[in-house]
């Protein structure tokens, strides 16, 4: 019966009141309404619209208060896993963030928002919505609540930063998050995937110098680079015309990853070919310009 209720009630606002009455009737006759029913209900509404899901989330909170429903972290995880259809729609993005904020407030009210895992669930939900800066607000709430971030926290923060695609914000974020990560060292030890995300931030903002700093930080953190590390650095040096650094990165890749060196060299040769092609174009343009002035 509960599954039928989910399907019937999640598509039309008037059905919310109807479903509410049915649940009250169930409770009055001694039937237990499981928390998973309410979370499934909200989950289905999220596929309709953030605003519809928000109404259900408020109802979830109301039912918890009236019926002493025991929502644990996994139930809240189900609510936070709602995927809203709000890409490229600012108003729906705001509605979706309001949904997450309502869930987060409920978690806080009922003492569930008190662990790294809980904040990471909220952070993951926020990162899934392309809203500028929202993930940093969650991170600030986390630190102000004296909850320690872990490796997944930093992965999610960088995922959110890269999803924004803003050159200015990415540069600031990479610097800020690296400092924050180093404050957590050695409790939180970065893996190569995390360092690669930092380097990818440098590719976005064209900061070759900091990208090479992240490369040197790998050895400081006892992390072995992989093929993607050197691929990103070669692309970064190429896009910023850092030829000496390009050659240094290539030599280091051949030394650190002898088995994968052919793959790295293939990319390096292609990037060098693009450099030569650009030089040829510049040379021809220079000759044509000179001929124009001579004539």
- Residue 275 confidence (pLDDT) above 80: yes
Given pLDDT bands bounded at 50, 70 and 90, which one contains residue 95? Answer: confident
Q: State residue 7's pLDDT score.
A: 45
Contact 129, 96 (CB under 8 A): yes
Cα distances (angstroms) measured from residue 186 to each of 98, 155, 180: 36, 16, 12
CA distance 294 to 273: 32
pLDDT in tens, 191-203: 999 999 999 999 9
Q: What is the pLDDT of residue 35?
A: 67
* pLDDT digit string, tens, across residues 114-124: 999 999 999 99
With 0-12 / 13-18 / 19 or more C-beta atoms within 10 angstroms meaning exposed / middle / buried, residue 98 is middle
Q: Check residues 245 and 18 and name the one with the higher pLDDT.
A: 245
Instruction: Give the span between the Cα atoms of 230 and 218, in whole angstroms.
Output: 12
pLDDT band at 142 (very low <50, low <70, confident <90, very high): very high
Q: Which two tokens stand for residue 63?
A: 């039912």
φ, ψ for residue 234 (rounded to 5)?
-65, -45
pLDDT-based confidence at residue 8 (cuts at 50, 70, 90): very low
Q: Tell me the per-residue pLDDT of 168-216, one tens digit each, with 9 for 90 and over.
A: 889 999 999 999 999 998 999 999 999 999 999 999 999 999 999 999 8
pLDDT (tens digit per residue) in 44-76: 666 666 776 677 677 777 766 666 667 788 888
Confidence of residue 4 (pLDDT cuts 50, 70, 90): very low
Model's pTM, two decimal places? 0.83
Q: What share of the chain is helix, strand, coil (3-state, %, to 5)?
A: 75, 0, 25
């Amino acid at each position: 019966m509960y599954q039928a209720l989910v399907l019937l009630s999640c598509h039309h606002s008037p059905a919310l009141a109807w479903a509410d009455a049915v649940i009250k009737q169930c409770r009055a006759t001694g039937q237990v309404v499981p928390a998973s029913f309410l979370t499934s209900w909200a989950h289905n509404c999220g596929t309709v619209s953030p605003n519809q899901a928000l109404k259900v989330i408020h109802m979830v909170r109301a039912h918890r208060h009236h019926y002493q429903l025991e929502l644990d972290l996994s139930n809240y995880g189900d609510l936070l896993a709602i995927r809203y259809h709000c890409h490229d729609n600012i108003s729906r993005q705001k509605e979706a963030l309001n949904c997450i904020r309502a869930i987060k407030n409920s978690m806080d009210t009922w003492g569930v928002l008190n662990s790294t895992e809980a904040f990471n669930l909220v952070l993951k939900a926020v990162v899934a919505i392309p809203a500028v800066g929202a993930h940093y607000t969650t991170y600030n709430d986390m630190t102000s609540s004296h909850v320690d971030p872990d490796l997944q926290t930093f992965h999610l923060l960088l995922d959110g930063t890269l999803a924004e695609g803003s050159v200015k914000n990415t540069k600031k974020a990479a610097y800020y998050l690296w400092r924050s990560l180093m404050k957590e060292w050695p409790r939180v030890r970065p893996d190569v995937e995390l360092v690669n995300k930092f380097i990818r931030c440098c590719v976005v903002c064209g900061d070759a110098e900091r990208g090479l700093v992240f490369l040197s930080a790998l050895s400081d953190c006892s992390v072995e680079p992989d093929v993607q590390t050197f691929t990103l650095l070669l692309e970064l040096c190429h896009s910023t015309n850092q030829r000496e650094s390009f050659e240094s990165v290539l030599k280091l890749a051949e030394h650190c990853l002898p088995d994968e060196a052919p793959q790295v060299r293939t990319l390096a040769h292609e990037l060098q070919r693009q450099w030569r092609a650009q030089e040829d174009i510049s040379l021809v343009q220079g000759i044509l310009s000179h001929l124009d002035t001579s004539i």
